[in-house]
Amino acid sequence: MKVSFTLNSETRWLECQPNQTLLHALREQLGVKSPKCGCERGDCGTCTILLDGKSIKSCLVLACEVEGCEITTLEGLMQSGLTPLQKAFLDQNAFQCGFCAPGMVIAATELLEHNSSPNRGEIEEALAGNLCRCTGYAPIIDAVLDLVDNGGK
């Protein structure tokens, strides 16, 4: 079936089977590689994208469900270079392998949109569905806090 939607502010369409997940469609058919394929069962968060402005796990969504929707991935967020959040992660050396980074960036971006000065607890809560195997989370949370302390710049 044919599905069309807005992907990172461009109108795109694809031909897919009903059983194709959005994660696979993005990565394999549309060449959008920032959402990663981790657990594929909704547990790890590395496939997180924004669907109509809200974070969702793209491994638990079918491609055919997004007809007419608006999808944003990291590629879309950083159309004019790294965002202040990404810079903060970079400056703080917040990640090691970086596999969890796409989900963390999306989740933290969504949080900061609703709450420009979250405290540590709120950041933890917002990032909770994203697993990181390398860092122990502290540098990731610290980087977001730092950004907040610096007024989001």
Residues found near ligand FES in the complex (CB under 6 A) = 37-40, 42-47, 57, 59, 95-100, 132-135
In the list 18, 31, 81, 151, the residue contacting other proteins (rule: CB under 8 A) is: 18
Burial of 48 (0-12, 13-18, 19+ CB in 10 A): buried
In the list 19, 81, 138, 153, the residue contacting other proteins (rule: CB under 8 A) is: 19
Shortest reach from residue 37's CB to ligand FES, in Å: 6
Tokens 């608006």 sit on residue: 70
Q: Which does 72 bind (CB under 5 to 8 A by kind): other proteins, ligand FES, none?
A: none
Name residue 56's beta-bridge partners: 49
Q: For residues 11 and 74, which CB has a smaller minimum distance to ligand FES in the complex?
A: 74
Binding segment for other proteins (CB under 8 A), chosen from 11-19, 84-92, 94-102, 145-153, is 11-19
Q: By the 8 A CB rule, do 5 and 62 touch?
A: no
41 to 80: interface string for other proteins, x by CB under 8 A: xxx-x--x--x--xxxx--xxx-xx-x-------------
Q: Taking CB under 8 A as the rule, does residue 122 contact other proteins?
A: no
Distance, in Å, from the CA atom of 75 to the CA atom of 3, rounded to the nearest integer, reads 20
Distance, in Å, from the CA atom of 36 to the CA atom of 65, rounded to the nearest integer, reads 19
Distance, in Å, from the CA atom of 120 to the CA atom of 67, rounded to the nearest integer, reads 37
